[in-house]
Structure 1
Amino acid sequence: MSLPVDAFTLSFLFFYLVSLAAAVMVGGALRRGGFPVPKGPRFGNIDGLRGFLALSVLSHHFWIWTHVIVFGRPWSEADLPFVNQLGAGAVALFFMITGLVFYPTALKGIGNVFWPKVYIGRFFRIVPLVAASFLLISLIIMLRTGARPDASYLRVAVEWISAHRQVPIMGYADSGLMNALVLWSLWQEWLFYLLLLPGVALGLHVAKRIKLPSWTVPVLVLATGLLAHLFGFGGHIFSFWPLFAAGMLAYECCARDAIRRWLASPTAAILATLGMIPAVLLFDHALTPAFVPFAFFFCCVAAGNRFGGIFSLPGAAVVGEISFGIYLLHGILLNVLFVDAAPIIQRIPLVALPLLIPALAVLIVLITAATYLLIERPAWRFGKRLGERLRPNIIDTGTVAAESTRTPTRR
C-alpha cells in the first residue's frame, strides 16, 4: 500500500461520480419496470436531491472505512473538507428538507393540526425500517461472535430503535459502527418533530394574532440556533435549528412567485454552483460560513431549478424515494465488506479500492428498493390509514406533506 494518497483521492472522486451515475441508471431501470414513485406536484427537485445526498454519505463512509482498515486510523471525520462534506453537508441538506417539508404543517397553526396523525405518520415512516436494521445488525453480531440476546437486549433495542443512543448490542463494542453511527441524525429529526415543529406552529399562531409576517418565526429559529451554535449553549438541542430554519425559509421564498422564478433560473444555478465550490472545498460542515451558499443552493433546488437536469432525472427520483433506506442501511453493507472481508480489502491496491463504490451504490439501490416495497411503503401507508381513521374528518398535511412534498403557493 505504498501508493500516494493523492492517487487514491483522485480515484475516489472519480468513482464517487461514477457511483452516482450508476445508481441513477439503475433507478431509471427500476422506474421503467414499474417501481412506484408518488405522483403529483412536488417541492421542486427535492426528490432527486435526496438520492444524491444518501449516496454521498455512502462514499463518505467508504473513505473513512478505507482509512480505518488500510491505514489503521481510528473512526473519525474525513481529513479532506470535500470528503467530509459528503457526509456532514449531505446531512445538513437532509435537515433543510425536513424543515421545508413540514413547514406547511406548522403554518396551519398549533390548534389546527391533528398532532396524533402527524406522529403516527412519522412513527410508521421511520421506526419499522430502523427496527429491521437493528435486527439485521443483531443477526450479524450473533454470527460473528456467537453471542445471544440477554436480559438487557430489549432495553438496547429501545435505545437503538428510538435513535436515542447506539449502545453495544450483546456486548459487541463496535455495534455503532455496524451502521456507521447514522442514528444520531434520526434523533435530531425526532427532536424536530416533538419540540421544534409544534413550537414553530405555536409561534406562527402568535405571529398571525399580532399581525407579523410568517417568515419572522423561522428567522427567529435561525437566529436562536446560530447564537446557540456560536456560544455553545443548549447542547445539541439547538445546534441544528439553523438548518431546519433554512428549509422553512426556503418554503417562504418559493411561496413568492417572483422569488421562486428567479431561484429556478439558470443565473441562480450558476451562482449557487459557484458558491458551493468554496463551501465544500474550504469548510468541513455546513454550520460555518458555508451555511449561506448551502442554504442558497437548497432554495434553488426547492424552487425547481434543474441544474442542467441532474436532479430531475427519472432515475434520480427513484433513488430519492428510497433514500432513507440507503442512508440507514448502507453502513451495514460497508461494515460487512470492511470487517468480514478485511483480508481481501487489504490485498487490493489502494488506488483500485474506489472501484468498489459504484458496485456498492448499485447494490444498495437494489437492496433498498426491495426494503422500500416490503417494509417502508406498506408501513407508512398503514400509518397514514390509521391516522385518517382516528380523525377521518380532518384534512391534515402532516403526513401528506412529508410524502408528497407539494410545491408551495402563496395566494
Structure 2
Amino acid sequence: MAFSPLLAVFLFAVAICASWAILRLVPRPLRPQAGADSRNDGRYAAIDGMRGLLAYAVFIHHGIITWQYLHTGLWTLPPSRLYTQLGQSSVALFFMVTAFLFWDKLLKAGPEMDWPGFVSSRIYRVYPVYAVAVLLVAVLALASTGFELRTSPLDLLRRLVGWATFKAPPINGLENTGQIVAYATWSLPYELLFYAALPALAVLVTPARRLRPALVSVAATLILLLYFRNFSLAVLECFLGGIAAAHAIRRPGLVRFARSGRGLAVALAGLSAAVTGFDTAYAPLPVLGLGLFFVAVAAGQSFRGALTCQPVLWLGEISYGVYLLHGIVIWTAITANAPVRSLVGEDAGLYALALAGTGILVVAVASLVHLAIERPAIMAGRRGRALRRNDRAERVPA
C-alpha cells in the first residue's frame, strides 16, 4: 500500500512538537540557542537543524518499510519514490555533513591539524551511543530467541565482536538481527573510512606534508577496505558534496547568494529534483542536486528560520541517537509487539498513529541517551584533549 506524502508531513510535525515538549524539561544551559544566522555555539546552526530532520526522515523511511515487512515478510525499499528518498537522500546528506565539517576544519587548521585529537573526538562522539545500541541489540536478539543459547558460546562471542566492530552479523541464530536497528549501521563503516582517509587526503590541501599521519592514514584505510570489503563508489561520491561545500563557503559572493531568496529557490530546486526525479540518491545527478541544497545550508541558508528554531535544533542535538536507536524503538514498539501488530492489522490509519507514537518515543529515548551518555562522553573527550594540549604547551621551551 502506498502512503500519502501527507503522512510524512504529519510525522515531522509530531517530532517537532515532541522536541518542543521535551525541551521544557531540559535545563536551560543545555538547550540550543534558536535563531542563529550561520553559527550556533561555534557550530553551523543550519546544518545542526538539518541533521535533526534528516535523522527523523530515516525513521519515517524505515517505518514505511516496517509496514511492508509486517505484511509481506520482506525488508525492501518502499514502492514510493518519496519514502525511498527520505532514507537514501538523508544518508547522502549525512555523508556531506561529515565531509564538510572535517574538511572545513582541515582548511582552517592546515598543517597544525591535531590528528590525535581528531581520532579521540571521533571515538568519544561515535562509540558511546553505538555501544548502547549494540547492548540493546544483543538483549533483544536473545529475547527474540527465548534466551536459549542456539549457537556455541564461542560463536556468540564472535558475533558480538562483529557488532562491536561495526558489522551486523546474526546473533544467537536470529538471521535478521540487523533489522533490530533497521540495518541503519551500514553507513557507519563509510564514516569510518572517511575518517581514516582524511589525514592522507590532507596532503592535497595543506602546505606542509606530514608524513607520519599520512602513512598511518593509508594503512588504516587499507585495513578498513579489507575488513568490510563492500564499499560502493556511488555512495562514496556523496562525500565530495561536503568537500565542495567547504570550499564554496569561502567565497563571500556565493555565500551571499546562497542566503538570499534566489539561493533558497535554487536549493529547493536541487533538493526537489533529487528526491522526485530519481529512484536512488546514490548516482551523480541526484548527488549534484543534493549538493546544491547542501551548499546553501552550509552557507547559512536557514529556510526562513525553519532549520534554526529551537525544537529543530534539539532534534539536531540528538540526531545521532535518533539515527542509531530508532530501529530498536520500532522493533520493540511495533515489529516484536504482538498486541500492537494485532491491533493495527491491515488498517493503514491505525499504523500511522502507531508510527507517530513510536516517533515520540524515538525523540524521548534519543534525548535521554544524549543527556545521560552522549553529551557527557563528548565533554569528557573535550576535557581530555584540552589537558593534552596544555601538557604539550608546558613541554614546549620558552
TM-score normalised according to structure 2 size:
0.83
Deviations 1:120-171 (A, max 9, x none): 11011111111111111211222332135922344323321221x2001222
Amino acid across the alignment from 1:79: P
Identity rate of aligned residues, in percent?
29
In the other structure, the counterpart of 1:191 is 193
1:376 maps to amino acid: E
Alignment of 1:222-241 (within 5 A): 236=231, 238-241=233-236
Count matched residues.
Answer: 362
Partner AA of 1:161 in structure 2: A
Q: Secondary structure at the match of 1:325?
A: helix
Residue 351 (structure 1) aligns with: 349
The amino acid that maps onto 1:50 is: R
CA distance in 2 between partners of 1:261 and 1:393 (Å): 42
Q: Which moved more, 1:131-140 or 1:338-347?
A: 338-347
What value does the CA root-mean-square deviation take over the aligned residues? 2.5
Equivalent residue number for residue 316 of structure 1: 312
Q: Which residue of 2 aligns with 1:79?
A: 79
Q: Which residue of 2 aligns with 1:228?
A: none
Aligned-pair CA distance for 1:34:
4.9
Structure 2 unaligned regions, length at least 5 = 34-39, 210-228, 394-398
Cross-structure match for 1:246: 241
Deviation at 1:309, TM superposition (A): 1.6
C-alpha deviations, 1:305-344, integer Å up to 9, x for none? Answer: 1212210111111110110000000000111123322453
2:44–2:298 CA contact under 8 A, matched in 1: yes
Alignment correspondent of 1:336:
332
Q: In 2, Cα distance between the equivalents of 1:199 and 1:319?
A: 33
Return the letter of the residue paired with 1:137.
V
CA distance in 1, matches of 2:44, 2:5: 34
Check the 8 A contact 1:62/1:357 in 2, yes or no: yes
The answer to whether residue 256 in structure 2 is matched with residue 261 in structure 1 is yes
The offset of 1:185, in angstroms, is 0.6
1:5-404 to 2 correspondence within 5 Å?
A: 5-6=1-2, 8-10=3-5, 12-26=7-21, 28-30=23-25, 34-37=29-32, 40-69=41-70, 71-107=71-107, 111-145=111-145, 146-148=147-149, 150-163=153-166, 165-195=167-197, 197-205=198-206, 236=231, 238-288=233-283, 289-348=285-344, 349-392=347-390
Q: CA deviation at 1:352?
A: 2.8
CA contact (8 A) 1:22 1:358 kept: no
Change (3 A) 1:394 1:310: farther
Secondary structure of 2:43 counterpart:
coil
Distance 1:19 1:114 in 2: 41
**Contact 1:262 1:268 (8 Å CA) reproduced:** yes
- Post-superposition CA distance 1:186-224 (Å, at most 9, x none): 1100000012x1122111136x89xxxxxxxxxxxxxxx
The structure showing larger relative contact order (alpha-carbon pairs under 8 Å, at least 6 residues apart) is 1
Distance in structure 2 (CA, Å) of the matches to 1:181 and 1:161: 15
Ranges in structure 1 where 5+ consecutive residues have no aligned partner: 210-233, 396-411
Q: 1:299 to 1:237 in 2, by over 3 A?
A: same
Q: What does the per-residue CA deviation read over 1:34-82, in whole Å, with 9 as the maximum and x for residues that have no partner?
A: 544485243250010011001100010000000110x214101122111
C-alpha distance after superposition, 1:223-275 (max 9, x if no partner): xxxxxxxxxxx951644332212112112111221111110111111222133
Answer with 346-355 or 321-330: which moved more.
346-355
